[in-house]
Structure formats: C-alpha cells, structure tokens
Amino acid sequence: MGDLLAGIDRRTWTERLGPGTALLRGFALADDAAICAAIDQVVAAAPFRRMTTPGGFVMSVAMSNCGPLGWVTDASGYRYSATDPANGQPWPPLPALFLELAGDAAAAAGFPDFVPDACLINRYAVGARMSLHQDHDERDFTQPIVSVSLGLPATFLFGGLKRADPAQRIALTHGDAVVWGGPDRLRYHGVLAVKAGEHPLVGNCRLNLTFRKAR
C-alpha cells in the first residue's frame, strides 16, 4: 500500500473470472467517501456530458475524464485527447487517491507497476447501459483495465474475444473492482441497464471509474 492508503483494511476477496481477470469484492469500500469527494472535484472542472458516437448515437451514460488523457467520441471517431473538447483545457489531474487505488487493484490481480494515464468517470442514471465493446483505443495491450463500481448495483457483462461469444453476467455492487488483462485484455464487456434505487452515498445512480494506460 502507498502512504495514502496505509493501514486500510479493504476486507476484500477475489473471484477469478478468467486467466487474466479478477473480481475484487469490496475493494474500494474503505475509501468510498474520499473517492466520491474526488469525483466531485473532477466533475466540477470537467462536467459530465453524454457524448455522441461516430454513428450519431447519443450515449445513455454520461462521462467525464481525469488524467493526462481523456477518452472522447464524436463524429470524428473514438480517441484519446489531452484536452477537454468542451473547453479546450487539459483534463483535471488524476487524484493521488485514484492512482493508489488503481495500482493496488492491478497488483492484487497480478499486474504490478500499473500506472494509468487516463481515468474515465461514467455516470449511469437509472436505465443507462453500456453495450458490449472492446477497449482497443490504447497502444499497449500488455497493461490491464481497472474498473471500480460505486453507487447502485449493476450487471456486468463479460464476454469473449468475439462479440458473438457468450457473456457472463456478474452482479457488481458498491466498492467492487474488476481487473482484466493478459489473455483477457480484449474481451468484450458491457453493462445492462441500471435499475431504480437509492444509494446512501451516491444517490440514484451508478458511478464507474475505468483506469487505462492509453499511451
């Protein structure tokens, strides 16, 4: 653990979903309030927005980013950008807590020395969903993906290396983290529509942090 998280008991257990995939139950629970406060600071500078895909589809999930790079989509395509297209300014920096969290989760899953340069912050309102997709806009596929769930529960779809492959349905709750890399790095994944509810810390939505090494 780094200094920021020294002494924290995460009370987590690990479930293997594939040769390069670990589900870390409750991994972020010890820091949930601090993580949510850090998210609030990021979105104050880079507000959530529903981006448009190259095909003209407005995503149901609202997004923001922090770190040296942010993931964006518009009529020009999917890509990473060093600046927020809404204002032309650099994305807010990655909070130190986020770097610690991502590095610790990756290490717990068997991927030491992971240092992300991009963090997507996704806000799922009730009914929002994410269709099956691969994370393939990054340059280095040897680096894992780290995903942290907060707020309302969701059903995570974890498929194979082809879109038509069967997908596992995994229930994710507040504080869970999923890490996938190695032979699983390009597996298709998504999220079913979030159901109505109220979380005492996050409210009536799900928040997801997705950490990546984009460059």
Question: What pTM was estimated for this model as a whole?
Answer: 0.93
Residues 180-210: pLDDT tens digits? 999 999 999 999 999 999 999 999 999 999 9
Asked if residue 206 belongs to a domain, the reply is: yes
> Domain count of the chain?
1
pLDDT in tens, 30-48: 999 999 999 999 999 999 9
Percentage of residues of the chain with pLDDT beyond 70: 94
Query: 126, 27 in Cβ contact below 8 A?
Result: no
CB-neighbour burial class of residue 78 (10 A; exposed 0-12, middle 13-18, buried 19+): middle
Q: pLDDT tens digit string along 89-98?
A: 999 999 999 9
In this predicted structure, the answer to whether residue 11 has a pLDDT above a threshold of 90 is no
Mean pLDDT (the chain, rounded): 94
Is residue 158 in a domain? yes
List Cβ neighbours of 101 (8 Å cut-off, separation of 6 or more).
Answer: 5, 28, 31, 35, 148, 209
CATH of the domain at 101: 2.60.120.590
DSSP 182: G
Residue 158's SS3 state is strand
Residue 109 has pLDDT above 50, yes or no: yes
Please tell me the distance from the alpha carbon of residue 198 to that of residue 29, in angstroms, as a whole number: 17
Using pLDDT thresholds of 50, 70 and 90, give the confidence band for residue 50: very high
pLDDT in tens, 67-82: 999 999 999 999 999 9
**Spatial distance between the Cα atoms of 66 and 76, rounded to a whole number of angstroms:** 21
Query: Would residue 43 count as lying in a domain?
Result: yes
Write out the two tokens for 137: 């806009």
SS3 category, 30: helix
The answer as to whether 1 is a domain residue is no
CA distance 156 to 133: 12
6 is a domain residue: no
- Domain span at residue 146? 13-212
Is the residue at 8 inside a domain?
no
Q: Is residue 7 a part of any domain in this protein?
A: no
Q: Does residue 165 sit within a domain? A: yes
